[in-house]
Chain A
């Protein structure tokens, strides 16, 4: 028996019904056709299916779709705005942080949550720990870490310069 639910995905409101046994990952991929969210292990180990739910990174294979009733979900498809990539995506592109690309959406959403929470890591070691829940079978970790470091640098520079602009206006 399906259940009616309402949720927001990437800014669009949906009124849908879902089978309770459907995971959020399968719901996003099969029902909403948002296939950017990838499924690797389907039991919470690989991190490929990471999405943001109400601003926090979660594994969409470990959440039932019906549990997202009333929630605000963001997937990899929600990052780009009017053809403009998110600074995190640009940084990853510029640092060649991809090999086969399968794990990329999960890494991006994990890194995005970290950046948006404002919990930019103090060291590379801490950054690696924050990303440790995402597996890359190509083992392309070095370039992924470099890409995320670059993104942290660009986004904090951006907010620093925005802060500078505010201060200038005040004085």
Chain B
């Protein structure tokens, strides 16, 4: 239960980090908050030759408002959780961050680290996929912006190249009047959800659903959208039966695998129950416009 030998490289600017990543390539792992990487080291599931510690990089901790909330890769979960700015402009993001681990984990854990780690049960990737968020990556070759759907490639696997550093994560703000909900079931407070669902619902002036988003964590190798259920909702008039049938449609579209936390059947059942609750809650938050 002790980390293996590695060479420790502390960098103090993005450029320095990029130089080192270019030089060291896939021999190096970036160390941000360390709340996922250090356990992987201690359990000897990761064995990088170099750790590039970016904690002293000064300009990666921003929390910026706008039509898109932009979070620097090094912004800590706890800072986002306590940000009045985020609470006001993006209450769904605020609510989501509270589900991440415990206070001591959120004090160290970073937004960029969680996204780059790409655990399919983690909350932030589920939210990013729901919102069609974006990820900014830099390398000495340049800057590129990736859509969440193309960034998350599989279990703990992203489109980041070995010489790239994730520098910013972008969460589009919901259109005015849009309702939202996040529902998660976990065995213990602070654990990853067995199933997590993020839902947004918008209703037009005629009282019909104009847009619906349903995104699941914990049911596939990445976060996934329930697109068939989303399109089935659009144009419909909200009702208890509609939520029930959409939740059933969403759950049936999933093909989860089983592990010690739950069988595929159990996960599909949870997905249905949580989706229905999320749709009801999201609709309750809709301000018709």
Query: A residues touching B (Cβ–Cβ < 8 Å)?
Result: 1, 3, 20-21, 23, 26, 42-44, 47, 50, 56-59, 61-64, 66-67, 110, 113-114, 129-130, 132-133
What are the residues of chain B within 8 A of A129 when measuring CB–CB?
189
A42 and B104 within 8 A (CB): no
Sample of 4 further A-B pairs with CB below 8 A, known A58-B108, A62-B108: A23-B38, A44-B105, A59-B104, A64-B38
Closest to B39 in A: A43
B1 and A3 within 8 A (CB): no
- Count chain A CB atoms within 10 A of each CB in B3, B38, B104 and give the residue with the most: B104
One of B4-12, B126-134, B249-257 contacting the partner: B4-12
- The docked-state distance in angstroms from the alpha carbon of A21 to that of B46 is 13
> Which single member of A1, A42, A43, A58 contacts B107 (CB below 8 Å)?
A58
- Assuming the A-B contacts A57-B103, A129-B189, A133-B103, are A62 and B39 also in contact, with contact meaning beta carbons closer than 8 angstroms in the complex? yes
- The docked-state distance in angstroms from the alpha carbon of A92 to that of B189 is 23
User: Min CB distance, A134 to chain B, in Å?
Assistant: 8
A133 and B39 within 8 A (CB): no
What are the residues of chain B within 8 A of A20 when measuring CB–CB?
6-8, 51
B8 and A64 within 8 A (CB): yes
- Which residues in window 151-199 of B have CB below 8 A to A? 188-190
Closest to A51 in B: B104
B42 and A43 within 8 A (CB): yes
What are the residues of chain A within 8 A of B91 when measuring CB–CB?
none
Count of chain B residues with Cβ under 8 Å from any Cβ of A? Answer: 31
What are the residues of chain A within 8 A of B89 when measuring CB–CB?
none
- The docked-state distance in angstroms from the alpha carbon of A50 to that of B101 is 14
- Assuming the A-B contacts A26-B2, A61-B42, A132-B188, are A66 and B8 also in contact, with contact meaning beta carbons closer than 8 angstroms in the complex? yes
What are the residues of chain B within 8 A of A130 when measuring CB–CB?
103
- Assuming the A-B contacts A21-B2, A61-B38, are A133 and B190 also in contact, with contact meaning beta carbons closer than 8 angstroms in the complex? yes
- The docked-state distance in angstroms from the alpha carbon of A43 to that of B102 is 14
- The docked-state distance in angstroms from the alpha carbon of A129 to that of B55 is 28
What are the residues of chain B within 8 A of A110 when measuring CB–CB?
103-104
User: Min CB distance, B60 to chain A, in Å?
Assistant: 16
> Which single member of A21, A42, A133 contacts B101 (CB below 8 Å)?
A133
- Assuming the A-B contacts A61-B42, A62-B108, are A3 and B8 also in contact, with contact meaning beta carbons closer than 8 angstroms in the complex? yes
- B34 within 8 A of partner (CB): yes
Closest to B34 in A: A62
A43 and B35 within 8 A (CB): no
- Assuming the A-B contacts A20-B6, A47-B104, A110-B103, are A132 and B190 also in contact, with contact meaning beta carbons closer than 8 angstroms in the complex? yes
12 pairs of residues in contact across A and B, judged by CB atoms under 8 Å: A21-B2, A21-B5, A21-B6, A50-B104, A56-B78, A57-B104, A58-B108, A62-B108, A130-B103, A132-B188, A133-B101, A133-B190
